[in-house]
């Protein structure tokens, strides 16, 4: 058995949970294929949504591949209760045939400081597009109640969630995406994790045939500068580019994108693309957003929309 020890806690630093998540991904990638993996949360006392959202994605991808994978839950009952409340690791349950009641089923989260782990359908078959819209509408309703935001800042939040989840439906070639968030009222920000275990940016560009892309780093660079794999000029290919500019340049937040063996990080102070070792390869895409939650009256939503 390969025991993957989850850290006791992470700091408030934007990069700390990402560094810990990289170590967890490397431990998974370096373990034998036919050995059972166990995510050991026994000593955990505090979770950041970037870390927990990433672990949820990695865990579900291992399950998807048919690898025997388990969870050792925290010794602390209060921490275990939190994981149960957010429906880790399987996500908040819903019936796609009764999706109209989904918003009501999430009503208890309006008074909390987080939303549960929510998987949404990423394929366009059947009524999946309608189900996804209903799920994201419910998420937006919770965030509006929790954050007490209005005007352009609230518009920006809705825009980013809509665009980044729609990108998963448009480009990931997988069954589902994930969204998970935690609000920190005393610190005036919300952390949101959005991820999928699809084909990743590099394979998406290769499949499109539009660009001669040979590495994850090149693919990430194209994505964050708005180079779409789509042919139609009215496509949503600029969602990543606009979202990061809106978040960082407009709201003074922080943005991270991890796909394959490359990572893009943008803050007010810095912007860089990192090429990672294969040990740290993430299947699909993971996006981390740190969103300031005060009503910034100087922010103009329309300055950033395409």
Q: What is the pTM of this model?
A: 0.95
Mean pLDDT of the chain: 93
Instruction: Kindly report which listed range (104-118, 149-163, 189-203, 232-246) carries the lowest average pLDDT score.
Output: 232-246
Q: Is the pLDDT of residue 154 over 80?
A: yes
How many domains is the chain built from? 1
Q: Is the pLDDT of residue 148 over 80?
A: yes
Range from 77-86, 165-174, 238-247 that averages highest in pLDDT: 77-86
What digits encode the pLDDT tens for the residues 239-266? Answer: 899 999 999 999 999 999 999 999 999 9
Predicted local distance difference test score (pLDDT) of residue 229: 74
Predicted local distance difference test score (pLDDT) of residue 44: 96
> For the residues 191-199, what does the mean pLDDT come to?
97
Reported as a pLDDT band with limits 50, 70 and 90, residue 125 is confident
Percent of the chain surpassing pLDDT 70: 97
Predicted local distance difference test score (pLDDT) of residue 234: 42
Predicted local distance difference test score (pLDDT) of residue 277: 96
What digits encode the pLDDT tens for the residues 208-224? Answer: 998 999 999 999 999 99
CATH number for position 296: 3.30.565.10
Reported as a pLDDT band with limits 50, 70 and 90, residue 150 is confident
> For the residues 111-137, what does the mean pLDDT come to?
94
Predicted local distance difference test score (pLDDT) of residue 306: 62
Predicted local distance difference test score (pLDDT) of residue 296: 86
Predicted local distance difference test score (pLDDT) of residue 302: 93
Q: What is the DSSP secondary-structure string of the chain?
A: -EEEEPPS---SSTTHHHHHHHHHHHHHHTS-TTSPEEEE-TT-----HHHHHHHHHHHHHHHHTT--EEEE--SSHHHHHHHHHTTTTT-----GGGGGGHHHHTGGGGGSSEEEEEEEE---STTHHHHHHHHHHHHHHHHHHHH---HHHHHHHHHHHHHHHHHHHHH--SSEEEEEEEEEGGGTEEEEEEEE-SSHHHHHHHHHTSS---SHHHHHHHHHTT--S-S-TTSSTTHHHHHHHIIIIIT--EEEEEEETEEEEE-SS-EEEEEPPGGG-EEEEEEEEEEE-S--TT--GGGT--
Range of the domain at 151: 2-303
Token pair for 49: 């949504």
Reported as a pLDDT band with limits 50, 70 and 90, residue 187 is very high
Predicted local distance difference test score (pLDDT) of residue 231: 58
What digits encode the pLDDT tens for the residues 260-286? Answer: 999 999 999 999 999 999 999 999 999
């Amino acid at each position: 058995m390969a025991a993957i020890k989850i850290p006791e806690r992470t700091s408030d630093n934007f990069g700390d949970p990402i560094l810990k998540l990289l170590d967890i991904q490397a431990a998974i990638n370096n373990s034998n294929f036919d050995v059972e993996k166990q995510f050991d949360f026994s000593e955990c006392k505090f979770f950041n949504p970037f870390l927990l959202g990433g672990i949820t994605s990695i865990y579900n991808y291992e399950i998807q591949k048919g690898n025997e994978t388990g969870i050792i839950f925290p010794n602390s009952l209060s921490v275990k209760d939190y994981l149960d409340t957010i429906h880790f690791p399987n996500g908040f349950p819903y019936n796609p045939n009764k999706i109209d009641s989904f918003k009501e089923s999430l009503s208890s989260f309006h008074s909390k400081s987080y939303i549960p782990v929510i998987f949404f359908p990423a394929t366009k078959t059947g009524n999946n597009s309608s189900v996804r819209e209903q799920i994201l509408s419910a998420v937006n309703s919770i965030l509006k109640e929790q954050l007490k935001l209005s005007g352009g800042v609230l518009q920006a939040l809705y825009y980013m969630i809509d665009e980044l989840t729609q990108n998963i439906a448009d480009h990931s070639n997988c069954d589902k995406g994930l969204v998970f968030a935690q609000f920190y009222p005393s610190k005036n920000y919300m952390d949101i994790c959005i991820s999928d275990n699809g084909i990743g940016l590099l394979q998406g560009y290769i499949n499109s045939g539009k660009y001669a892309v040979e590495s994850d780093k090149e693919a990430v660079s194209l994505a964050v500068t708005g180079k779409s794999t789509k042919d139609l000029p009215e496509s949503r290919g600029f969602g990543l580019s606009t979202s990061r500019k809106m978040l960082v340049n407009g709201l003074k937040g922080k943005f991270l994108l991890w796909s394959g063996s490359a990572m893009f990080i943008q803050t007010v102070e810095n912007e860089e693309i990192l090429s990672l070792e294969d040990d740290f390869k993430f299947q699909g895409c993971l996006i981390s957003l740190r969103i300031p939650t005060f009503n910034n009256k100087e922010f103009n939503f329309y300055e950033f929309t395409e």
